[in-house]
Chain A
């Protein structure tokens, strides 16, 4: 038989098999696709949790700034760590052209606030003092500038920072370039914990000393320090912004609103022009999950840190909470893959149609083991920034973790195919990364 004939036959059989196995996903009539129902309901509850946890953070920051003590500072830090747990799981909704970060479509009307909520890494020198590579305290930042502030970078706009409000922070955020981050969780993290790393050499760890120590910002920064009130203003303004952004996203996923994004995803928006085609929606979801797990989590967040190695490139470098970021990011991915959230089953899952799950489940089990080990060590022995030291035995484990996460990203092609969606390698990688 001629080669091309063989190829055609294979492709024909392949198509038939895919169509049969995926037939149940695309229901006839007005029934809503069950995969999308599961996905959307998890989004509703996950973003609601993230919003509630952000509000608790806002309250604890208020308490702290009204009465700054060791105890209230500790409570604020605990609230931040708690808020990261639910928010980090929501990150699995990113990169799927949804309201959190859509770059096109009507749902950009929610403000696509991901960049304001979770921008990272920061140029923390722009926000408050740090100890630089020469061991000197830096100045000329937002906190210690009483009037007009120039953020620097490319074509920056000068901003009046005499009173630090949410509007001022929005005007400064990424003003002059992507590194000029002034909003979001990591800004609050820096203002609560302060610098953890030694900018000369993180292995020397001469700013904070110890494998189980994070940043040690003194309470005096909020009591007797000349700029104490400005830091308080900053904390409260940043928290207000997180809450209002999450309120916007939660409204996008709220039940009972026939005009929001959730209604459109489920094909029930009262404005039918806003409804999203099922196949398009699923393709965006599979593609987004693939990019998130492979390019964002595996590459940007883990590979950059462990392969350099660089404390600057660990996600929560001030609080040393990176092990939890990785854990909860992966949990968010698993929520959507298995259709579960907080141990509850939310219905038909993306993985259900996949016939042979052996390889994917093996990878997930292996990643779970490595993540558990990373968490245990971060609690009892050494934080993530010590685990990535070149001579630490964990560094190799974290590199393998990164490789396995990338392989899970590749598996999304097959999960998608089981559900009748064709993806290419290009669909599950960041465009910039393809060039690497």
Chain B
């Protein structure tokens, strides 16, 4: 078996994969932008500028989704596996946080103790507080600040983590490509099934039961904004002219047809999302987006993953 691992390794070192430029221009830049977004939001909350708060929350959503779309830090160090759960609980647990937050607002308990759950300090909680509560009340404002600062602290932790484990990502190009593709596949499933299908009534779970309010950021009207950010980040991964990306690697692996199909489905998805408003999930526009993201997932999962044998080779090499 060891001979096999060696053979696989020799094959791997002649292959170029996504590298330093991608890491610095996408991974690092996106996380820095997210930290800047939350910093500005904290300023706006302090100034109680409701117009700017609304706009800046949208920017935070967009920049966080970019970070989330490429989040593979947990693959580089398992200590970071759970960090996104402390920032975002969409579809992640069964908790109903709105009544919990109401209870906290109406109680006299110290906020430090009252907001003991991680979910109380997520972007989902922040949306509820910022868009449904009166920030002129000091307790509400303090809650918003606690949440925003918590998000900033986890984003900073992510930035530090990526810097610390950058070399691990870059030293094994096939491993890097494999975890990147796996991240893309998992993220595209969630995009298609949770963020579009569940809302449009096209997923198995909510078949023929469309409901715009099931959308990820229905309260603030940022759901389409979030989807656009996810798709734009995918373009940074598979279709950028500025650095060697996963699309270039795929072509080197003779997966030209497969990556072209993926890019085509991605471009269609971006066009469909750009053509949508927050209330369009339940009509033909939502259906079109579901269909194109479904094609995108199939292009990644069925065609590309199969063609890029290095993904399964990496998994094999890890074993006996």
Instruction: Give A399 to B82 CA distance when docked, in angstroms.
Output: 9
Would you call B118 and A418 a contact (CB within 8 A)? no
A14 near B109 (CB under 8 angstroms)?
A: no
- A3: which B residues are within 8 A, CB to CB? 253-254, 309
Binds B, one of A261-269, A277-285, A304-312: A304-312
Contact status A356-B109, CB under 8 Å: no
Q: A354-B320, A356-B1 in contact; A309/B118 too (CB < 8 A)?
A: yes
How far is the CB of A386 from the nearest CB of chain B, in Å? 13
Q: Which residues of B contact A (CB under 8 A)?
A: 1, 4, 7-8, 11, 78-79, 81-82, 85, 91-93, 95, 103, 107, 109, 113-114, 116-119, 189-190, 193, 253-254, 309, 313, 315-316, 319-320
What mask results when residues 14 to 48 of chain A are scored 1 for a CB within 8 Å of chain B, else 0? 10010000000000000000000000000000000
Cβ-defined contact, A309 with B116, below 8 A: yes
Given contacts A14-B316, A310-B117, contact A6 B11 (CB under 8 A): yes
Contact residues in A for B190 (Cβ distance below 8 Å): 435
Query: How far is it, in angstroms, between the C-alpha of A6 and the C-alpha of B12 when the chains are bound?
Result: 12
Q: A309 near B4 (CB under 8 angstroms)?
A: no
B119 to A, closest residue via Cβ:
A308
**Are A307 and B85 touching (Cβ within 8 A)?**
yes
Q: Which of A14, A417, A418, A435 contacts B193 (CB 8 A)?
A: A435
Q: Which residues of A contact B109 (CB under 8 A)?
A: 201, 204
Tell me the count of chain A residues lying within 8 A, CB to CB, of chain B: 35
> Would you give the shortest CB distance from A348 to chain B, in whole angstroms?
17
Report A's interface with B, CB cutoff 8 A.
3, 6-7, 10, 13-14, 17, 133, 200-204, 303-304, 307-310, 354-356, 389-390, 399-400, 403, 407, 413-414, 417-418, 425, 435-436
**Contact flag A7-B116 (CB < 8 Å), given A201-B109, A414-B319, A417-B319:** no
Contacts of A133 in B (CB 8 A): 103
On whether A17 and B1 interact (CB within 8 A), knowing A309-B117, A414-B320, the answer reads: yes
Shortest Cβ distance from A308 into B: residue: B117
Question: B175 to chain A: closest CB distance in Å?
Answer: 15
Among A202, A308, A356, the residue within 8 A (CB) of B95 is A308
Nearest 8 Cβ contacts at the A-B interface = A414-B319, A403-B78, A414-B320, A203-B116, A7-B309, A356-B320, A355-B320, A418-B320
Partner of B320, one of A202, A310, A417, A435: A417
In whole angstroms, how far apart are the Cα atoms of A310 and B309 in the complex?
42
CA distance A204 to B320 in the complex (A): 48
A and B contact pairs by CB, cutoff 8 A, 23 listed: A3-B254, A6-B11, A10-B4, A10-B313, A13-B4, A201-B109, A201-B113, A202-B116, A304-B93, A307-B82, A308-B118, A308-B119, A309-B116, A309-B117, A309-B118, A310-B117, A355-B1, A389-B116, A400-B78, A403-B78, A403-B81, A417-B319, A436-B91
Shortest beta-carbon distance from B251 to chain A in Å: 13
CB distance from B315 to the nearest CB of A (A): 8
Q: Are A10 and B8 in contact (CB under 8 A)?
A: yes
Decide: A10 and B113 in contact? CB cutoff 8 A.
Answer: no
Q: How far is the CB of A371 from chain B (nearest CB, A)?
A: 18
Docked-complex contact A201 and B114, CB < 8 angstroms? yes
Q: Across the interface, which residues of B come within 8 angstroms of A204, CB to CB?
A: 109, 113
Bound Cα distance from A255 to B176, whole angstroms: 52
For A200, the chain B residues whose CB sits under 8 A away are: 103, 107
- What residues of chain B lie closer than 8 Å to A201, measured between beta carbons? 109, 113-114, 116
Which residues of the partner chain B approach A202 to less than 8 Å between Cβ atoms? 116
With A309-B117, A417-B319, A436-B92 known, 20 other A-B pairs at CB within 8 A are: A3-B253, A7-B309, A10-B7, A14-B316, A200-B103, A201-B113, A202-B116, A203-B113, A203-B116, A303-B82, A307-B85, A308-B118, A309-B118, A354-B320, A355-B320, A356-B1, A400-B79, A403-B78, A403-B81, A414-B319
